Amino acid sequence: MKKGFKNHFEQKHSVKKLRLMIKKKIIKYRCTALEKAIIKKKAANSGQSISSFCRSSALGQKIAYKLTDEELQAYQMLVKYHNNFTAISNLLKKKDSAFAKAVLEMIGELKIHLNKFK
């Protein structure tokens, strides 16, 4: 294939993909004022428009929420604790001691809580 043809072909198909992604269809549904307020609040918390939030929710896509300042501070604190306990565990020479096991258990618990933020 010639280079000019290949570039033209790729551009043509990328334009087709973009046309497929343009949202032209409208769906309307009724809800109560309370339901609308809840949906609006959840959309704002996720950093999405109401339309995008409803679409993601209806399609079963994972909706990520923005962390509040307090949640972000808690996450940073958990990361710090995790790193400190990992360092302590690495410093212990005798890995079979009860203290080392307790530290490893704490590291495991911290990992569980850190994964909740993902």
CA-wise closest residue to 114 among 76, 63, 65: 76
Is the model's pTM score more than 0.75?
A: no
* Predicted pLDDT at 36: 93
- Residues of the chain short of pLDDT 70, as ranges, are 1-20, 93-96, 118
Radius of gyration of the chain (CA): 25
Q: Helix, strand, coil proportions of the chain in percent (round to 5)?
A: 70, 0, 30
Residue by residue, DSSP assigns 12-62 as HHHHHHHHHHS----------HHHHHHHHHHHHHHT--HHHHHHHHHTT--
* Predicted pLDDT at 13: 55
Q: Are 66 and 47 in contact (CB under 8 A)?
A: yes
Q: Are 35 and 57 in contact (CB under 8 A)?
A: no
Domain locations in the chain as residue ranges: 3-58, 69-116
